[in-house]
């Protein structure tokens, strides 16, 4: 690569710095750090153009490392598994919504390959230090903190932080290392190696509210005996390496402004606006997916949340990471003006609201806070709580009981420890027939009998029931010139899911938020941006081929782990949705089985 000194005007560079929210716009990521926890050794590998991982980043890199070096038949909580923190090709750059990173490993929840990504402060801070990835190998003898500073890692005693919730932990670490640090941490569920544990990332306000949530990777981090990764702002100035910074700047600036202008409603009301849309089409999970609409949806929708935020002097239009153009996050305060959570998102509202028949915004904010604090995926928590309600352990709609149940985890309440199992294993343990999972992972907030494309993603993606793997929401197209049929029709949905899974793989590997849009049009734009940064000569078709190869790699790993290429939906989802539309799952099973051959 050519060493490049930016030639633009001072005002242009200032704009980029303002957009990114950092003093230094972007650093070329070149180092892979391996932390050998069993011995305490540290290994630094420079990823140059000759390195085998040069064309891997983000999800592609974490999955490739798992494929190359984690035995497919190993127990996910044993030492052979690895936990990888991987910056994307564009993480921390002036590209809009590029402040994300992928975290990967063999999933304690599904038993297969897994990637979950998050925003917050840490991904950009890591990328700015020239780090493409951090690998945790082996297992420490006692609880540790990993500190990242100036491109180097340090292993520190973490025993003083044992058992802490992520909020108290974040406060203590900020007091010790400074307010501008980023923290990636686990709560008590992760320390207990819970199969639904999340990894929490501190946001720009310092709250541990952003989560790499799905797949139980927090349990994997707990098995390594690592409580947190603390990322300090770099004190060293590094030269940016670009092939053509001016071209990169022009492309990303225009894209930023387009997203900023076209996503204003999303910015003001957040992802909670989805409640109205999904309820209207009869696809909102209600009472453990019995119904597709909730009679009290107006009490938990985007308008209700917006009003609650305004009334209690919270904030909306908040960025979850540096460089966010969409700013769909929020800060929710209680009636006394005290912080409850950031950010209250659609998935949390759907799985813990309508799905549990809870109809109060403040209660849902408290549920979200408790989940973040103990470190558990809110989607998996909502499905697990539904199983408990099916078993009669908690009454449907009893939000106060749910909050107390979650609080009880840190207090050692025996029944609360059932959260560790996740929905699938708990359903078996309690002999509950209505198990809301695919590949042992809880269903997201889209009933597949209405959202047929989502349903295809749930049963075919290497990630299991994960809406972000192929998000076929209402109105979404992978190619503008193709038709995919109506939302609740089988027509075109296998093709739509497959195309979206390819484009999402690319977005994840670039370190982008998928809200920028997984599409052919954006893939064409990404090819220009990546070529400008890396001196590549890759077309959009080349990027699609790369993403296909990365997906095949994930599929092959799961195959070696004994996980089928495709799954079936839970038996109860073969029945029509109760009331409303009467939508049902009617996709041809042979077509689904042939998904990977198309």
Q: Are 311 and 381 in contact (CB under 8 A)?
A: no
Say if residue 138 is exposed, middle or buried (CB neighbours under 10 Å; 0-12, 13-18, 19+).
Answer: middle
CA distance 304 to 318: 18
Maximum C-alpha span of the chain: 67
Q: Which two tokens stand for residue 453?
A: 């494309």
Please tell me the predicted confidence (pLDDT) of residue 237: 52
The domain ranges of the chain are: 10-231, 263-442, 452-597
CA distance 66 to 270: 34
Please tell me the predicted confidence (pLDDT) of residue 220: 98
The model carries a pTM of: 0.94
Please tell me the predicted confidence (pLDDT) of residue 236: 66
Q: What DSSP string describes 412-456?
A: T-TGGGGGGGHHHHHHHHTT-S---EETTEE--SS-TTT-HHHHH
Q: Domain spanning 10-231: which CATH class is it, in words?
A: alpha beta
Q: Considering only CA atoms, which of 53, 580, 526, 590 is closest in space to residue 282?
A: 580
Please tell me the predicted confidence (pLDDT) of residue 70: 98
Q: Which two tokens stand for residue 433?
A: 């027939």
> Which residues lie below 8 Å from residue 58, measured CB to CB, with a gap of 6+?
86, 87, 88, 89, 91, 100, 101, 102, 117, 508, 509, 510, 511
Confirm or reject CATH 1.10.10.10 for domain 452-597, answering yes or no: no
Helix (H) or strand (E) holding 200: strand 199-201
Burial 523-534 (b: 16+ CB within 10 A, else e): bebbbbbbbbbb
Confirm or reject CATH 3.50.50.60 for domain 263-442, answering yes or no: no
CA distance 93 to 19: 10
Say how many residues make up the chain: 598
Please tell me the predicted confidence (pLDDT) of residue 17: 41
Task: Find the DSSP H helices in 194-326.
Answer: 217-223, 245-262, 264-269, 274-280, 302-311
Q: What is the pLDDT along the chain (598 residues), one digit of tens a residue?
A: 323 233 333 333 433 443 443 333 444 558 999 999 999 999 999 998 889 999 999 999 999 999 999 999 999 999 999 999 999 999 989 899 999 999 999 999 999 999 999 999 999 999 989 999 999 999 999 999 999 999 999 999 999 999 999 999 999 999 999 999 999 999 999 999 999 999 999 999 999 999 999 999 999 999 999 999 999 998 765 545 788 999 999 999 999 999 999 988 888 889 999 999 999 999 999 999 999 999 999 999 999 999 999 999 999 999 888 889 999 899 999 999 999 999 999 999 999 999 999 999 999 999 999 999 999 999 999 999 999 999 999 999 999 999 999 999 999 999 999 999 999 999 999 999 999 999 999 999 999 999 999 999 999 999 999 999 999 999 999 999 999 999 999 999 999 999 999 999 999 999 999 999 999 999 999 999 999 999 999 999 999 999 999 999 999 999 999 999 999 999 999 899 998 788 999 998 888 988 998 6
Task: Find the DSSP H helices in 21-76.
Answer: 58-69
CA distance 131 to 135: 11
Q: Are 255 and 263 in contact (CB under 8 A)?
A: no
- Note if the bond before 593 is cis, omega within 30 degrees: no
């Amino acid at each position: 690569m050519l060493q490049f000194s930016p030639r633009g005007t001072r005002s242009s560079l200032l704009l980029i710095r303002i957009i990114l929210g950092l003093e230094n716009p972007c650093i070329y990521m070149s180092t892979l750090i391996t932390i050998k926890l069993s011995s305490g050794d540290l290994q630094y590998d420079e990823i140059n153009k000759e390195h085998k991982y040069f064309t891997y980043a983000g999800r592609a890199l974490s999955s490739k490392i798992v494929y190359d070096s984690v035995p497919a038949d190993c127990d996910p909580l044993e030492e052979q598994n690895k936990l990888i923190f991987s910056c994307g090709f564009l993480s921390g750059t002036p590209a809009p919504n590029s402040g994300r990173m992928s975290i990967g490993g063999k999933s304690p929840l599904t038993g297969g390959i897994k990637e979950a990504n998050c925003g917050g402060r840490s991904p950009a801070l890591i990328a700015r230090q020239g780090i493409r990835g951090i690998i945790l190998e082996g297992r420490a003898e006692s609880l540790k903190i990993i500190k990242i500073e100036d491109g180097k890692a340090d292993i520190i005693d973490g025993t003083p932080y044992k058992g802490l919730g992520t909020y108290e932990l974040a406060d203590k670490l900020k007091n010790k290392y400074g307010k501008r640090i980023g923290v990636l941490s686990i709560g008590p569920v992760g320390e207990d190696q819970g199969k639904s544990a999340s990894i929490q990332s501190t946001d720009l306000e310092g709250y541990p509210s952003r989560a790499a949530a799905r797949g139980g990777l927090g349990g994997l981090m707990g098995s390594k005996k690592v409580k947190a990764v603390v990322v300090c702002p770099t004190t060293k100035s590094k030269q940016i390496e670009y092939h053509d910074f001016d071209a990169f700047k022009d492309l990303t600036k225009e894209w930023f402004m387009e997203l900023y202008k076209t996503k204003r409603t999303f910015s003001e009301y957040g992802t909670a606006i989805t409640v109205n849309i999904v309820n209207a089409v009869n696809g909102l999970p209600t009472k453990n997916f019995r119904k597709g609409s909730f009679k009290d949806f107006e009490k938990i929708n985007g308008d209700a949340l917006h009003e609650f935020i305004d009334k209690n002097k919270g904030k909306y239009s908040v960025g979850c990471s540096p460089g966010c153009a969409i700013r769909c996050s929020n800060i929710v305060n209680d009636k006394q003006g005290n912080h409850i959570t950031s950010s209250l998102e659609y998935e949390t509202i759907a799985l813990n609201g309508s799905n549990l028949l809870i109809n109060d915004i403040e209660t849902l904010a408290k549920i979200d806070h408790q989940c973040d604090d103990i470190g558990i995926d809110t989607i998996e928590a909502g499905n697990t709580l539904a199983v408990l309600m099916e078993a009669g352990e908690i009454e449907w709609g009893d939000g106060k009981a749910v909050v107390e149940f979650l609080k009880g985890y840190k207090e050692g309440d025996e029944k609360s420890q059932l959260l560790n199992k996740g929905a699938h294993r708990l359903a078996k343990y309690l002999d509950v027939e209505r198990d809301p999972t695919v590949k042992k992972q809880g269903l997201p907030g889209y009933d597949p009998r209405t959202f047929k494309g989502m349903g295809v993603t749930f049963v075919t993606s290497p990630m299991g029931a994960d809406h972000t793997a192929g998000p076929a929401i209402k109105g979404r197209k992978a190619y503008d010139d193709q038709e995919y049929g109506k939302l609740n029709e089988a027509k075109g949905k296998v093709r739509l899911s497959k195309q979206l899974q390819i484009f999402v793989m690319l977005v994840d590997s670039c370190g982008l938020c998928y809200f920028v849009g997984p599409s052919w049009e954006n893939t064409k734009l990404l090819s220009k941006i990546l070529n400008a940064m890396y001196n590549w000569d890759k077309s959009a078709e080349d990027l699609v081929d790369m993403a296909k190869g990365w997906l095949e790699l994930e599929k092959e790993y799961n195959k070696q782990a004994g996980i089928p290429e495709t799954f079936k939906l839970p038996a109860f989802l073969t029945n029509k949705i109760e009331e409303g539309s009467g939508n049902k799952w009617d996709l041809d099973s042979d077509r689904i089985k042939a998904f990977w051959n198309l």
